[in-house]
Amino acid sequence: MTTDQLHKGGSTSEGGALAPAFALGRVRPGRAGTSWRGLTDTGGWCPNSRPLRSLDLLNGIDWRPNVYNQLGVPPVLPRRRKRAGRAPTLADVAQHAGVSISTVSRVVRRHADVSDDSRQIVLESIKALRYRPSTIARALVSGKSNTLALLVSDIGNPFYPQLARAIERAASRHGYALLICNTEDSPVESRRHLERLIAHGVDGLIHASVGKDEDVLTELVDERTPIVFVNRRPKSTYAHYAVADNRDAARQLARHLLKLGHRRTGFIAGPKYAANAVERLEGWLLEMETVQGVQPLVSEGGFDAVHGHEAMRLWLESGHPPTAVVGVNDNVAVGAMDAILAAGMSIPEDISVAGFDDIELASSRILDLTSIAYDTEALAERSVQMLLRAIRGSGVEPMREICAVQLRVRGSTGPVARSGQSSSLAHMLAGD
């Protein structure tokens, strides 16, 4: 039998129809004039035999002689099938569309050097297969993941979800996705998050709660993964940050209470490792010093409502509580309000209360809380712009911005009682 007969579908002398392997284009027939030696020998070898290649298996061909039939013609194996549950790849789209992988790649990357017809065919195949480009593969090629990460100390603090939402919007406007990590103000947690984020190739970091973990940042973060600080100012002099003017904010709040006649005021402070807490206390004390006869009280605590409640409870039990209280943030102020109401007193008739951050509930009828507000959207946009600039250029000089604040006066603060204390407060102190 000649090779032409084999190519046309001829059968062996024993009736084995194996020529379709050639007809399907899976195997190239022997060159003209080539003799097929040992065709009747088991395990015969073709003249154009060659070592096994991985591409052959992918194409459904096994060239190994021990699977040959009497003619030495390789059998046709089933074409590779996509594993169940496996996401479609560029190769799958290329095969479906009948184009090269490079053409699919150019369509996915929106290159102009693709004909309209080819682009349409590829897009239809992408839709049919539900193909989604691999961000990991794209990052390996481009060196960019188009992903930023935000670190916050306590996502349960109402201020941080507001900030995170604003930063996510700003990042999205610039074509970036945002990951959010909760550090619990713990260096151990910060290290764990940072190691994973850097290993996954995030383009940059925004840290809203730097404090005890600043040494960890210095150790792990370099110019390859730029970082911008927001909300809390870092100790490092060579750092990018966008923060609120916390000292001025505290002075505005203190000035407001002094104008209302309060002379015995309390400040429930935050932890000393947090720059914003320190700056707020400093500003409040500076303003109190401008008026004679003021008795400032300070209680050190944390950033949550529990600390606010406990500090206020102790002041009430002392028998001579302040007539106005400021929480280091709205969360702490809410805790103080709860302790005042639990003692049967009124706000602001007995004790005025104010805070910082102007969380969304501060303006509700439930709280009606006097607070310091920041333009969170502007702060977020500025921090993202700083980060993107640092990502695009190495050796960028430190970028720093101090954002203005605004006092929003509501019903939780009022004039001090003329007698120095209201009737309900007098009854409480008398034990009635």
Q: Is the pLDDT of residue 429 over 70?
A: no
β-strand pairing of 405-408 with 370-374: antiparallel
- Strand partners for 372: 356, 407
Q: Are residues 311 and 185 in the same domain?
A: no
- Strand partners for 324: 265, 352
Confidence of residue 129 (pLDDT cuts 50, 70, 90): confident
Q: Are residues 110 and 175 in the same domain?
A: no
Q: Is the pLDDT of residue 41 over 80?
A: no
Confidence of residue 7 (pLDDT cuts 50, 70, 90): very low
Q: Tell me which residue range forms the domain holding 175.
A: 144-243
Q: What is the pLDDT of residues 148-203, one digit of tens each?
A: 999 999 999 999 999 999 999 999 999 999 999 999 999 999 999 999 999 888 99
More confident residue, 238 or 297: 297
More confident residue, 227 or 8: 227
Q: Are residues 15 and 64 in the same domain?
A: yes
The token duo for 61 is 């061909």
**Region for 286 from its dihedrals, namely left if φ exceeds 0, alpha if ψ lies in -120 to 50, beta otherwise:** alpha
Within-domain flag for 48? yes
| pLDDT (0 to 100) of residue 23 | 38
| pLDDT (0 to 100) of residue 72 | 52
Integer Cα distance of 346 and 412 in angstroms: 10
The token duo for 217 is 């940042």
The token duo for 12 is 């062996």
Mean pLDDT for 379-402 is 90
The total of structural domains in the chain comes to 4
| pLDDT (0 to 100) of residue 235 | 92
Specify the DSSP class assigned to residue 114.
S
196 CB-near residues (< 8 Å, 6+ apart): none
The token duo for 314 is 């102790």
For residues 236 and 218, is the Cβ–Cβ distance under 8 A?
yes
> What is the pLDDT of the chain when averaged over all its residues?
81
Q: Is the dihedral of CA 248, 252, 255, 257 positive or negative?
A: negative
For residues 327 and 301, is the Cβ–Cβ distance under 8 A?
no
| pLDDT (0 to 100) of residue 27 | 42
| pLDDT (0 to 100) of residue 419 | 41
Q: Is the pLDDT of residue 14 over 80?
A: no
Mean pLDDT for 72-77 is 50
Q: Are residues 286 and 235 in the same domain?
A: no
The token duo for 52 is 């096994």
Whether residue 322 has a cis bond before it, omega within 30° of 0: no
For residues 306 and 280, is the Cβ–Cβ distance under 8 A?
no
CATH code of the domain containing 291? 3.40.50.2300
| pLDDT (0 to 100) of residue 139 | 54
Q: What is the pLDDT of residues 15-32, one digit of tens each?
A: 444 444 433 333 444 444
Integer Cα distance of 244 and 325 in angstroms: 21
Integer Cα distance of 266 and 288 in angstroms: 11
Q: Are residues 426 and 285 in the same domain?
A: yes
- Choose the final residue of a domain: 243, 262, 281: 243
Confidence of residue 375 (pLDDT cuts 50, 70, 90): very high
